[in-house]
Amino acid sequence: MKPLQIADKTFTSRLFTGTGKFRDIATMQAAVEASGSELVTVALTRVATQGDVDERLTALEASEINLLPNTSGVRDAKEAIFAAQLAREALGTNWIKLEIHPDPKYLLPDPVETLKATEALVKEGFVVMPYIQADPVLCKRLEAVGAQCVMPLGAPIGSNKGLRTQDFLEIIIEQSNVPVIVDAGIGAPSHASWAMELGADAVLVNTAIAVSPDPVTMAKAFEMAVQCGRMAYESGLASTHPHASASSPFTSFLTE
């Protein structure tokens, strides 16, 4: 498989994961390792509110894994910019996963504030990875102001419904000049393969791994799913056919 380039980093793994919702830190650490992920989100609020780097971070920092602070919890561009600055200071990284969701129920992203914050943060030297609706026009605008990738959702966050936005993801993938990373909605390995088969550059999976009864096995399963989906994409998949055709040669030899 081809490696993935975002900004100045090259990734062998196309599975990004997160640190939230695990039952304990040892499980989180083992699952992240099993996933093979080289980029792992961490809610910056864990850093900022505790005034110190917590155990979670210590556990990951020992490894080669890149931390990706996210702005989860902010409600507009101003809060997001402040949060990104805090994260840069606390974690020493200029990468930021931008999540701006004013509605606490569905946590859906705000397109207008996300564009505004992306533009400002890029100017401050951040590598911005914005979480957004599967909105092809917004993706092009984010690209235009310097987003290093786009992170459209597959389905409402936490719904595990897969790629309900497939029609729009296909357009985004067709038009994008930056990597497309499907975020939210991926609840099973088959969803991750599906995203990769469509041509997504990577997927981000957190909940489905963290809340599994066996997060380590599930992390490994997602790693394989991302790989096989990508292999299929690079090899070339068959299209769907409205009419059937036989997979075995049809013959009437026995009746002649």
- Residues belonging to the binding site for 1-deoxy-D-xylulose 5-phosphate are 158, 184-185, 206-207
Query: What one-character-per-residue DSSP string does 69-134 give?
Result: EE-TTB-SHHHHHHHHHHHHHHH---EEEE-B---TTT----HHHHHHHHHHHHHTT-EEEEEE-S
Least Cα distance to 208 among 21, 59, 26 occurs for: 21
Backbone angles phi, psi at 67, to 5 degrees: -85, 140
Q: Which of 2, 9, 21, 97 is catalytic?
A: 97
Residues 171-210 that bind a copy of itself (CB under 8 A): 171, 175, 184, 187-191, 193-194, 197, 206-208, 210
Q: Looking at 6, 15, 46, 129, which residue binds a copy of itself (CB under 8 A)?
A: 46
Alpha-carbon distance of 78 to 30, in angstroms, equals 36
Residue with tokens 């990373």: 181
Residues 50-69 that bind a copy of itself (CB under 8 A): none
Backbone angles phi, psi at 237, to 5 degrees: -95, 150
Identify whether 21 is a catalytic site residue.
no
Q: Looking at 40, 67, 115, 181, which residue binds a copy of itself (CB under 8 A)?
A: 115
Q: Looking at 4, 15, 155, 181, which residue binds a copy of itself (CB under 8 A)?
A: 155
Stretch that binds a copy of itself, among 5-13, 22-30, 54-62, 94-102 (CB under 8 A): 94-102
Residues 73-92 that bind a copy of itself (CB under 8 A): 73-75, 79, 82-83
